[in-house]
Structure 1
Amino acid sequence: MRFGLKVNPAGWDDASSWAAIAEEAGFDGLWTGDNLRNPRDPAIAVHDGPTIIAGWAATTRRIRVGLLIANLVFRHPTVLAKQATTLDHVSGGRFDLGIGSGVWPTDHGMAGTPIWTARERTERLAEFVAIVDRLLSGDVADHAGPYYPYSLAAMTPGTVQERLPLIIAANAPRALAVVAAHGDGWVTFPGAATEAEFYAKSVERVQALDAVLDGRRIRRLLLAYGQIDPWASEDGFARLVQRYQGIGFDELVVYAPKDHERAVFDKVAKRLDDYR
């Protein structure tokens, strides 16, 4: 099992501190999100995700850094592909790119776009991911698709990594097909579901993904938040790892703890290798 730490920092001091903690503890990945505001409380500080990643990329040495999850509501895929390439260079080839379709009305509100139907959201995800995949591979041919047409693209310089990993957020069958077609990894998260509901759905989704992957192995990431509480106790963390590893997940991404959760986090971090 691999472990990632997701941080939505209040400022650079906070971001820098958690990066040092994650590297020292031996976390495999350091992640941040891609929202322009907190969807529930606009008074909570939110910083631009790619900019935070650039800072981490320049000031860390070992840990992989990544967006979880780049929100296609905010930008054209040509822009994200260029950002990803730049972040890959700044990090020296340690960048992972998560992509999702965005679900919060506040995302659409700040982007000035109407809220899409479920069908349009999936169609956009499929076209967007295919474009990013194609551009990162060096194919800059013009594209005349329905949502994201472009021409005269250039991807110079190319990525540092031979293939920059694409990790796609998906739950529904058609979105899982996008994962199978283009993804190096798949990420899922509970949202508003209870842990029991999410676990049952995760079993179904793993089976559905296996069916469309047809034997191909990819990374499977669980973003633990909401009703999944990794910091209730050390034993609870161990049970969480075993429970989801047992149905095929090989990466657990946890949020940086709140003050009252820090004691458990510190104990887990000191013996992270024991949980692998």
Structure 2
Amino acid sequence: MRFGLKVNPAGWDDAAYWAGVAESAGFDGLWTGDNLRNPRDAAIPVHDGPTVIAGWAATTTKIRVGLLIANMVFRQPTLLAKQATTLDHISGGRFDLGIGSGVWPTDHGMAGTPVWTARERTDRLAEFVAVVERLLSGDVSDHDGPYYPYTLAAMAPGTVQERLPLIVAANAPRALAVVAAHADGWVTFPGAAAEEEFYTKSVERGRALDELLGGREIRRILLAYGQIDPWASEDGFARLVERYQQIGFNELVVYAPKEHELAVFEKVTARLDTYRG
């Protein structure tokens, strides 16, 4: 099991502090999100995700940095591919790119984009991810797709990594097919679902993904929040790791702890390697 820490920092001091904690504790990855605002409370500070990643990329030395998840509601795939390449260079080849279709009306509102139907959202995700993948591979030929056409693309310089890892957020069958066709990793998260409901759905989705992958192995990332509380207790953390590892997850990304969760966080991170299995 690999472990990542997700931080939505209030400012650079906060971002720098948690980067230092994550790197010294031995986390494998350091992640942030990609929203223009907090979807529930507009007063909560939110910074631009790729900009935060650029700061982390320049000030850390070994931990991987990444977006969970880049939001296609307000990004063109050509722009995201260029940002990903730049972040890969700043980090010296330590950047991972997660992509998701976005679901919050606040994202659509700030982007000035009508809320898409479920079918259109998945159709867009399929085209968006395919475009990013081909651009990052160096294929800059013109594209005449229904949602994201472009001409005259250039991707110089290319990525530092031979293949920059693409991680796709997906739950529905058609979105899981996008993962199987283009991604190096799959990320899922409970949202507002109860933990038992989400666990059952995760088993079903994992099996569906297995069929689509046809034996190919990819990263399977659980983003723990909502009804999944990794900082309730040390034993709870251990049970969380064991439970989801048993159904195929090989990476757990947890949010930075709140003040009342610090005691458990510190105990867990002091023995992080013992949970790897």
Give the aligned length. 276
| Residue of structure 1 equivalent to 2:229 | 229
Partners of 1:74 and 1:48 lie apart in 2 by: 12
| Residue of structure 2 equivalent to 1:83 | 83
Q: What's the TM-score, normalizing by structure 1?
A: 1.00
1:149 counterpart = 2:149: yes
Identity among equivalent positions (%) equals 84
| Residue of structure 1 equivalent to 2:185 | 185
| Residue of structure 2 equivalent to 1:72 | 72
Tell me which amino acid in the other structure corresponds to 1:138. Answer: G
Partners of 1:75 and 1:31 lie apart in 2 by: 18
Partners of 1:76 and 1:5 lie apart in 2 by: 27
Which whole-Å deviations, capped at 9, do the CAs of 1:159-195 have from their partners, x for residues lacking one?
0000000000000000000000000000000011000
Tell me which amino acid in the other structure corresponds to 2:64. Answer: R
| Residue of structure 2 equivalent to 1:140 | 140
Deviation at 1:17, TM superposition (A): 0.2
Tell me which amino acid in the other structure corresponds to 2:103. Answer: V
Partners of 2:175 and 2:45 lie apart in 1 by: 31
SS in 2 for 1:96: strand
| Residue of structure 2 equivalent to 1:8 | 8
| Residue of structure 2 equivalent to 1:162 | 162
| Residue of structure 2 equivalent to 1:98 | 98
Which whole-Å deviations, capped at 9, do the CAs of 1:67-108 have from their partners, x for residues lacking one?
000000011100000000000000000000000000000000
Deviation at 1:231, TM superposition (A): 0.2
Divergent runs of 4+, >6 A: none
Deviation at 1:12, TM superposition (A): 0.1
Partners of 1:21 and 1:81 lie apart in 2 by: 29
SS in 1 for 2:73: coil
SS in 1 for 2:151: coil
Structural RMSD (CA):
0.3
Flag structure 1 segments of 5+ consecutive residues without an equivalent: none
SS in 2 for 1:226: coil
Tell me which amino acid in the other structure corresponds to 2:47. Answer: H
Tell me which amino acid in the other structure corresponds to 2:225. Answer: Y
SS in 2 for 1:23: helix
Tell me which amino acid in the other structure corresponds to 2:108. Answer: H
Tell me which amino acid in the other structure corresponds to 2:188. Answer: T
| Residue of structure 1 equivalent to 2:41 | 41
| Residue of structure 1 equivalent to 2:60 | 60
SS in 2 for 1:38: coil
Which whole-Å deviations, capped at 9, do the CAs of 1:111-151 have from their partners, x for residues lacking one?
00000000000000000000000000000000000000000
| Residue of structure 2 equivalent to 1:250 | 250
Tell me which amino acid in the other structure corresponds to 1:15. Answer: A
Flag structure 2 segments of 5+ consecutive residues without an equivalent: none
Partners of 1:74 and 1:245 lie apart in 2 by: 34
Q: What's the TM-score, normalizing by structure 2?
A: 0.99
Tell me which amino acid in the other structure corresponds to 1:92. Answer: G
| Residue of structure 1 equivalent to 2:200 | 200
